[in-house]
């Protein structure tokens, strides 16, 4: 599960743990495999919100067709990192300043989430005397079973329902500097390839049945990452085949997808040291250096973050080494909250104070969504495995 190079770096860099270790060659190989599984006429954009670090963006550049950003800050960061990249700007709550910036920096597509947002954009385009190219993000009345997160199909802060969609299309007729190209529909996350293919088919069927300007459909992301079984990877060839069928049936329609987690998660690792192992009412707890203020993902999603123990034989103290052998252990961090948990009651053969623990699937929605300042612990180090 953990590449040899990552394990070796975690041990050699033990003095600087906790640390994030990013396998850039692994990221590139995975992204290239995803691109190869997709039809040539389906565009692949990377959702920067998953992990916007410069080495990640630079590694993906040239393999993905563009980058999707979701704030003015992400927009500035990505444009600075990849000056020539194609950009799409999504997300709710865009400010007037965000939209002004998007026009100035040449964003290719702006995803409109509300009537008010469309009015703001039309006003900005008029003042800048430029054209804004948009997709309308739609909240379709579609039930999506088996999703880990649902963004549509019911009352939601995301996208336009039927009434708002009609109002936007009416406004567009009076906004000559806003040009509609189609729709965006990201309804749910955490789906397998068969589930996502069914959603894609329903979205395209709905879109072509509407009386709308339609040359593009952005299907968003939503590809599941299985934290319980890291070896189970989203079936990109199956999803690519489904998209190929849709593209063949609608040759005049540009399809685009925007994965984030499913591209970046597998390349990232969070390595740390075991500070203590202690019993409590029949259970064993291992306290590690760091915590969910570095890696919030397991606390936010309520799963066990997969990990491997790297045994370290050094022990500098004269008293017995706290440990657990052949039993379940709960891995927690240093925070003063019972929610600071990485994994609960996971069987281990041996875990000792001073050992190194390497958490996998930490390449997306990890450091960048964590509450860094809580208790003012130091930040982790960052290491990158570079291409040979």
Domain segments of the chain: what residues? 86-259, 266-385
Q: Hey, what CATH class is 266-385 in? A: mainly beta
Which phi and psi angles does 356 have, rounded to 5°? Answer: -100, 135
Instruction: Report the pLDDT value the prediction gives residue 257, as an integer from 0 to 100.
Output: 98
Whether domain 86-259 has CATH 3.20.20.10: yes
Instruction: Report the pLDDT value the prediction gives residue 185, as an integer from 0 to 100.
Output: 93
8 A C-beta contact, residue 88 and residue 69: yes
Instruction: Report the pLDDT value the prediction gives residue 1, as an integer from 0 to 100.
Output: 74
Instruction: Report the pLDDT value the prediction gives residue 218, as an integer from 0 to 100.
Output: 97
Residues 6+ apart with CB under 8 A from 135: 109, 110, 111, 112, 180, 181, 182, 183, 184, 216, 218
**Hey, what long-range contacts does 39-43 have (CB within 8 A, 24 or more apart)?**
39/240, 39/243, 39/244, 39/247, 41/247, 41/254, 41/255, 42/240, 42/243, 42/244, 42/247, 42/255, 42/256, 42/257, 43/254, 43/255, 43/256, 43/257
Instruction: Report the pLDDT value the prediction gives residue 159, as an integer from 0 to 100.
Output: 81
- H or E segment and range at residue 344: strand 341-352
- H or E segment and range at residue 21: strand 19-23
Tens of pLDDT, residue by residue, the chain (388 residues)? 789 999 999 998 887 899 999 999 999 999 999 999 999 999 999 999 999 999 999 999 999 999 999 999 999 999 999 999 999 999 999 999 999 999 999 999 999 999 999 999 999 999 999 999 999 999 887 666 655 555 455 567 778 988 999 999 999 999 999 999 999 998 888 899 999 999 999 999 999 999 899 999 999 999 999 999 988 999 999 999 999 999 999 999 999 999 999 999 999 999 999 999 999 999 999 999 999 999 999 999 999 999 999 999 989 899 999 999 999 999 999 999 999 999 999 999 999 999 999 999 999 999 999 999 998 999 999 999 987 7
- Torsion sign, CA atoms 321, 14, 12, 51: positive
* Environment class of 169 (CB within 10 Å of its CB; exposed 0-12, middle 13-18, buried 19+): middle
Retrieve residue 16's tokens: 């600087």
If you search the block for the tokens 């990485």, which residue do you land on?
A: 342
Residues 6+ apart with CB under 8 A from 54: 81
Instruction: Report the pLDDT value the prediction gives residue 365, as an integer from 0 to 100.
Output: 96
User: Cβ of 378: how many Cβ atoms within 10 Å?
Assistant: 9
8 A C-beta contact, residue 215 and residue 182: yes
pTM for the model: 0.94
Instruction: Report the pLDDT value the prediction gives residue 144, as an integer from 0 to 100.
Output: 62
The CA R_g of the chain, rounded to the nearest whole Å, is 23
Q: List, by residue number, the catalytic residues.
A: 336
């Amino acid at each position: 599960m953990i590449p040899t190079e990552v394990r070796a770096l975690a041990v050699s860099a033990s003095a600087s743990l906790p640390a994030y270790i990013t396998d850039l060659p692994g990221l590139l190989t995975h992204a290239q495999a995803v691109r190869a599984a997709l039809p040539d006429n389906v565009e692949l954009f990377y959702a920067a919100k998953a992990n916007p670090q410069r080495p990640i963006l630079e590694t993906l550049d040239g393999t993905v067709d563009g980058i999707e950003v979701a704030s003015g800050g992400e927009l500035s960061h990505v444009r600075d990192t990849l000056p020539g990249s194609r950009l799409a700007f999504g997300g709710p709550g865009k400010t007037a300043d965000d939209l002004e910036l998007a026009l100035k920096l040449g964003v290719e597509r702006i995803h409109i989430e509300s009537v008010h947002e469309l009015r703001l954009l039309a006003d900005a385009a008029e003042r800048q005397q430029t054209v804004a190219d948009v997709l309308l993000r739609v909240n379709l009345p579609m039930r999506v079973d088996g999703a880990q997160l649902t963004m549509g199909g019911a009352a939601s802060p995301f996208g336009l329902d039927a009434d708002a969609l009609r109002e936007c299309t009416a406004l567009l007729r009076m906004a000559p500097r806003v040009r509609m190209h189609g729709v965006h529909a990201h309804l749910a996350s955490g789906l397998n390839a068969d589930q996502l293919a069914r959603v894609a088919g329903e979205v395209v069927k709905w879109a072509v049945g509407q009386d709308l300007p339609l040359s593009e459909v952005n299907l968003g992301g939503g590809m599941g990452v299985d934290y319980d079984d890291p070896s189970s990877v989203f079936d990109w060839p199956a999803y690519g085949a489904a998209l190929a069928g849709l593209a063949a049936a609608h040759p005049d329609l540009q399809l685009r997808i925007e994965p984030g987690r499913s591209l970046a998660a597998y390349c990232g690792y969070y390595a740390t040291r075991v500070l203590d192992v202690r019993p409590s009412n029949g259970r064993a707890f291992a306290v590690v250096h760091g915590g969910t203020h570095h890696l919030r993902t397991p606390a936010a999603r309520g799963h066990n973050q997969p990990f491997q123990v790297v045994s370290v034989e050094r022990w500098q103290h004269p008293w017995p080494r706290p440990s657990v052998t052949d039993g379940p252990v709960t891995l927690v961090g240093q925070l003063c909250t019972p929610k600071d948990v990485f994994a609960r009651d996971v069987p281990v053969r041996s875990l000792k104070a001073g050992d190194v623990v390497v958490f996998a699937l930490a390449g997306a929605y990890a450091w960048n969504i964590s509450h860094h300042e809580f208790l003012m612990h130091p930040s982790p180090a960052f290491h990158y495995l570079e291409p040979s």
